Structure 1
Amino acid sequence: MYERILIPTDGSETAETAVEHALDLAEQYGAEVHALYVVDTNAMSLSLGGEQLDRIEQGQYGEMDEVRERAERATGYVTDRAAERGIDTVEHVSAGRPHSMIANYVDDNGIDLVVMGSHGRSGVRRALLGSVTERTLRSTRAPVLVIDED
């Protein structure tokens, strides 16, 4: 049923909870896992100049080593956890609008299932999905399994 499962990750606790669910499914179906970290250029554009954003979008981080390290930690977590279970993993980092990049990755890589965190919040906002999760649900045709850390 599932051959390729995508885990969009930001390295948060909620994303790490989603990783466990995705790996359980990958084990059950013998699926390959794809770990995707998207550098949100919309959020970064408020603090960075256009030239720096262009380099990030081309995978040239330069002085953005912290961003690269965060991305590598997040996707590396998925790879490490998958390796413990003998599951093949593909790591990818991209830059742009997260929901658009997730949808593009799904289309470009034949993804059968997306498993991602809800980015749950406390209080009244807890009932609402994170904006990236909600937009991903609306922008991809692949099934999306949304995991809350609770």
Structure 2
Amino acid sequence: MYSKILVAIDGSKPSLKALERAIEIGKCWKSEIHAVYAVNPGIYGTTVVDPAIGVSDPGSERIFNMLQEESKKIIEDAKSFTGDQGYYVKYHEKLGDARNVILDTAKDLGVDLIVLGSTGKGMAKRLVLGSVSSSVVFHSPVSTLVVRDLGEKKQKSN
């Protein structure tokens, strides 16, 4: 039984598929569902934003504000999507690397299932770009479901 489910969202089609699957599971188990979006200003360099000290230069404030606006849009889009599904989801916006944010939020909330999307990138792209889903699966102390988005072309060929 899954009493609390955490789903990672990032505005992508795979993350909406993960959110949809989390809701399907949540309806079956009458689970509490939480969705988390990680704002990662670190990807813009150490001069942009450091969570410990905040904005570190005036030009960075504009970028940080842009990231916050993007976060609001992604969460609002997800809320609209979940409203259509007829299930209540609590949303969280956290600052940091998605890998750490997902695992830390799961621990803080005491969830027993993590659901996240995957784009199905090949090994070469994973090595270059890293993989949030691979990292979370490897380090998660709870069951973790990766919802794959194979795309329309790959699904039609199956």
TM-score, length basis structure 2: 0.76
AA partner of residue 112 (structure 2): D
CA distance in 2, matches of 1:66, 1:53: 19
AA partner of residue 110 (structure 1): G
AA partner of residue 35 (structure 1): A
In the alignment, which residue of structure 2 is the partner of 1:110? 110
CA distance in 1, matches of 2:110, 2:27: 18
In the alignment, which residue of structure 1 is the partner of 2:120? 120
Please list every run of 5 or more consecutive structure 2 residues that lacks an aligned counterpart in the other structure.
151-158
CA distance in 2, matches of 1:13, 1:113: 20
In the alignment, which residue of structure 2 is the partner of 1:66? 66
Matched residue SS, 1:11: coil
Matched residue SS, 2:54: helix
Write out aligned runs for 1:1-150 (5 A): 1-45=1-45, 48-50=47-49, 54-55=53-54, 63=62, 64-121=64-121, 125=124, 131-150=131-150
Segment of structure 1 superposing worse, 100-109 or 64-73:
64-73
How much identity, in percent, do the aligned residues show? 25
Matched residue SS, 1:103: helix
CA distance in 2, matches of 1:50, 1:24: 37
AA partner of residue 94 (structure 2): S
AA partner of residue 80 (structure 2): D
Larger Rg: 2
Segment of structure 1 superposing worse, 69-78 or 30-39:
69-78
Please list every run of 5 or more consecutive structure 1 residues that lacks an aligned counterpart in the other structure.
none
CA distance in 1, matches of 2:42, 2:126: 25
TM-score, length basis structure 1: 0.79
Matched residue SS, 1:21: helix
CA distance in 1, matches of 2:65, 2:78: 20
- Is the CA contact 1:32–1:87 (under 8 Å) kept in the aligned structure 2? no
